[in-house]
Amino acid sequence: MFERFFPDDYMVSTYKIPFEKLYEKGYRGVIFDIDNTLVPHGAPADERAKKLFKRLEKIGFASCLISNNREARVKMFNQEIRTNYIYNAHKPSTKNYIRAMEIMGTDRTNTVFVGDQLFTDVWGAKRAGIYNILVKPIHPKEEIQIVLKRRLEQIVLHFYKKRLKNKED
């Protein structure tokens, strides 16, 4: 029942993802959510984010930000990152995941999506056929509508973790 919302992978942080290994496996583009995936909600790009995007470029990855935020927010974050971006993305609609791949020159087979929300980020990426990685939110302070979604996410993640444990046994 909840399987359609299960991420392909679940990591403690965006900054712990082994991007070099993903590149070795043939991935060439990374799409990122911003808030609570790369930085706390509303924050500008910090040193960690700047280093990550330099690292990705050095590895050979194309990148694109897709956010449901307004352009001013995305532009502010991207000021020093200087990557491609799509604002007002209407995630989980697949339209802008596909657009991001077009911008990067990648396709469903060689693109990775990284985000912190199951029902927008991961669900949209899954529907678009993109390998996806759910990361734990960076900061617990969030808008009320997200807090409510997080409670539902906990139910789905419970079953996801239970399924992983059963596979190990």
Full-model pTM: 0.88
Give me the chain's average pLDDT, please.
92
pLDDT value of position 146: 66
For residue range 59-91, list pLDDT tens digits in order: 999 999 999 999 999 999 999 999 999 999 999
How far are the Cα atoms of 15, 32, 80 from residue 22, in angstroms, in the given order?
A: 14, 15, 25
Total count of domains within the chain: 1
Domain of residue 28 covers: 3-168
Q: In what order do the strands lie in the sheet with 111-115?
A: 9-11, 131-135, 111-115, 29-32, 62-66, 84-86
Number of H helices and E strands in the chain, helices first, is 6, 6
CATH of the domain at 61: 3.40.50.1000
User: Is a pLDDT exceeding 90 seen at residue 9?
Assistant: yes
For residue range 13-27, list pLDDT tens digits in order: 999 999 999 999 999
The upper half-sphere exposure of residue 159, i.e. CA atoms within 13 Å in the direction of its Cβ, equals 11
Residue 27 amino acid letter: Y
